[in-house]
Amino acid sequence: MRSDLIKSGPNRAPHRSLLNALGISKSEMKRPFVAVVSSKSDYIPGHIHLDNIAEAVKAGIRNAGGVPFEFNTIGVCDGIAMNHPGMRFSLPSRELIADSIEVMLTAHPLDAVVFIPNCDKIVPAMLIAACRLNLPCVFVSGGPMLPGNYRGQKIGLSEMFEAVGAHSSGNITDSELEEMEQSACPGCGSCAGMYTANSMNCLCEALGIALPGNGTIPAVYSARIRLAKMAGEQVLELYKQDIRPLDILTPAAFKNAIHTDMAIGCSTNTVLHLTAVAHASGHKLTIDDFDEIGKVTPQICKLNPAGSTFIIDLEDKGGISAVMKELSRAGLIDTSCITVDGTLEERLQNAPDADGEIIRKLENPHRKDGGIAVLKGNIAPEGSVVKQGAVAPEMMKHTGPARVFDCEEDASQAIYSGQIKAGDVVVIRYEGPKGGPGMREMLAPTSALAGMGLDASVALLTDGRFSGATRGAAIGHISPEAAEGGLIALIEDGDIISIDIPARSLNLLVDEAEIERRRAKWSPPRKQLSGYLARYAKMVTSGAKGAVLKD
């Protein structure tokens, strides 16, 4: 046992004395020690209940003969961090979380781990840590929030942000805005649509590192507590069989995850995070892999914000296992992959068939290709990402004049004050991993346009990121970013930009001589940075590479 490093032999008597102080008995000293890593906090709705999930996990560990030890990590709620300087710390927190887990579980060596994430960066951070440590592990999230109910209609956080735009344009009143505010988020859990948190929790199932139901069983259901107990029990089985994360997170598993990603219309942030997790696992995954897989994978689910159905609706129809079972009919899933509870083939045998509505049949998809597209061109020679499954049909091809802003705040102010008109292409730059720094997620400008009814006539481009709750022609992750001298830094107001999502192209229609003239005069803006962000800006790579830190 790895924990023998702190509990076995005469020279570990001092260590055992400290364990004795924790109340560990002699019989427990002989059992496997299992870490329970939670991101519980009191001011993230997706995490406020994770102490209950952790207690259920610990009960499962004890049921299976292990000894649980819990500790917590930090976590950022992207909704609360949105549209102010705090968002600069969201993506960088991914590296801090992974590092802190590596520190704890190396300084205090245990035998296995159950990871309890829920929101945004915490899921990929824990996956990265799992790869580094390579201890037998199971992931069990806190589960999704139930959707809100506003005058008989299901709503989520994306509708709440869009309501701000509707209010600023006079389409809804103060009282209506407040009524929505009181209804949108009815309780604990990760926000109810196919946003980044739920996307990553669903993809943990597709990767095989979590049990069925991890991504879709609502946070408030008793089934979520039972799933947590099962996770605690199952991690001991993995320990006995010596099955580790790197046995599960194979190239085939990542392909399964991307096929599933495309089929359910996940957040564009999955491109960033799966690339980073693959890097941590020792496998090469590029932005081009997503595009190649996306071209042959039909989108068979259209969930909020792209549609009117929510995660709970997907759960009711069999969840991710049902989606993967339908994809396997076309040979798009490698069912020989091992998971935390057997092979994927064994798992899918028990899954229901696609219902044909929430999970469409392959013969009748929402799209013949996937929910995410990778665009390239002179603006993004290394790539950019759009959630094409949430783009209005009339915006799949668009040519219009640029309205250029050097930060999110300036763009949002222009949108709210009515300065953006139908046909415009809003460009928000110097928001990339290095230039932001931190590659801020920007839901405010996209949702403001949607709330004002402009999402079907205005496009947005950025070297930063858009939220999983974003809909519309919002193209992010433009690489190289402005701070690195990417062409996005040289765009001027009035320049014509051509977007062709079906052709996967994104181009600035300015002649090369003019571009070179501008480049000769360009220099990056200087930002006064200190502390962690200063270190992060020096070490982070491009969004096309997952914004991982330089080796």
Longest alpha-carbon distance in the chain: 77
The helix or strand, by DSSP H or E, that contains position 343, with its residue range, turns out to be strand 342-343
Question: Which residue in the block uniquely carries the two structure tokens 């433009």?
Answer: 478
∠ CA 482-80-36, rounded to 5°? 100
Q: Are 360 and 354 in contact (CB under 8 A)?
A: yes
Q: Which residues contact 70 (CB under 8 A, 6 or more apart)?
A: 35, 36, 37, 38, 54, 58
Residue 219 to residue 232: CA distance in whole angstroms: 17
User: Cα dist. 239→60, 70, 134, 135, 234 in Å?
Assistant: 14, 18, 11, 8, 9
Residue 406 to residue 527: CA distance in whole angstroms: 12
List the 425-428 sheet strands across, edge first: 373-375, 383-386, 474-479, 459-462, 425-428, 397-405, 496-500, 505-508
DSSP 163-229: HHHHHHTTSS-HHHHHHHHHHS--SSSB-SSS-HHHHHHHHHHHHTSB-TTTTTS-TTSHHHHHHHH
∠ CA 34-38-43, rounded to 5°? 165
Closest C-alpha to 52, from 225, 187, 266:
225
Q: Which residues contact 319 (CB under 8 A, 6 or more apart)?
A: 205, 212, 213, 215, 216, 217
Separate counts of helices (H) and strands (E) for the chain: 22, 16
| Amino acid at residue number 492 | E
Helix, strand, coil fractions of the chain, as percent rounded to 5: 45, 15, 40
Name residue 401's beta-bridge partners. Answer: 496
Q: Are 20 and 36 in contact (CB under 8 A)?
A: no
Catalytic one among 158, 199, 267, 467? 467
Does 308 qualify as catalytic in the annotation? no
List the 33-38 sheet strands across, edge first: 67-72, 33-38, 112-116, 137-139
DSSP code of 548? P
Closest C-alpha to 244, from 148, 135, 328:
135
Residue 118 to residue 276: CA distance in whole angstroms: 18
Q: Are 230 and 211 in contact (CB under 8 A)?
A: yes
Catalytic positions are 467
